Amino acid sequence: MYLRSATKFVPPARYRCLDAVERLKEQGIDIGLINKCTLNVVDEEAMTLIGTSPLVLVVEPLNRRTGLGSRFGTWLLERGFSPKYQHIGIHKEGSGGLWEHAYHQGYDPVSVMAKVKSMM
């Protein structure tokens, strides 16, 4: 699969990102979606594919400071890749675990779409 852009996500952000990617494709934006379901294992082949993409957006329902997004950017740099990079994660205080929090924390489909467009 060739990606012009890549959006990475962690469940339960999966279906929200899939929705965002499908909507972006309908708008003519060439973007892919990759599931990264472990925080401690690096897939070198996937890193090469992702690292050579023009942009990477990691979307996760984990703490923005300590989750996959903070690690993933480092992994890209360690391998000599430098696509446009951003990550969305939990950044506001409060209880977690409810579906409404995706909107409160900014990892709902509309927020993901807006972030991708701002990176282009």
* Cβ count within 10 A of residue 95: 6
Residues 82-92: pLDDT tens digits?
999 998 887 77
The predicted-structure confidence for 8-48, as pLDDT tens digits, reads as follows 555 677 788 889 999 999 999 999 888 776 667 888 988 99
Instruction: Name the phi and psi angles at 38, rounded to 5.
Output: -130, 145
Say what the pLDDT of residue 107 is: 80
Q: How do strand 55-63 and strand 32-35 relate by DSSP bridges?
A: unpaired
More confident residue, 9 or 118: 118
pTM over 0.85: no
Element (H, E) at 116: helix 109-119
Task: State the pLDDT at residue 104.
Answer: 73
- CA-to-CA dists, residue 80 to 38, 46, 69, 75, angstroms: 22, 14, 17, 9
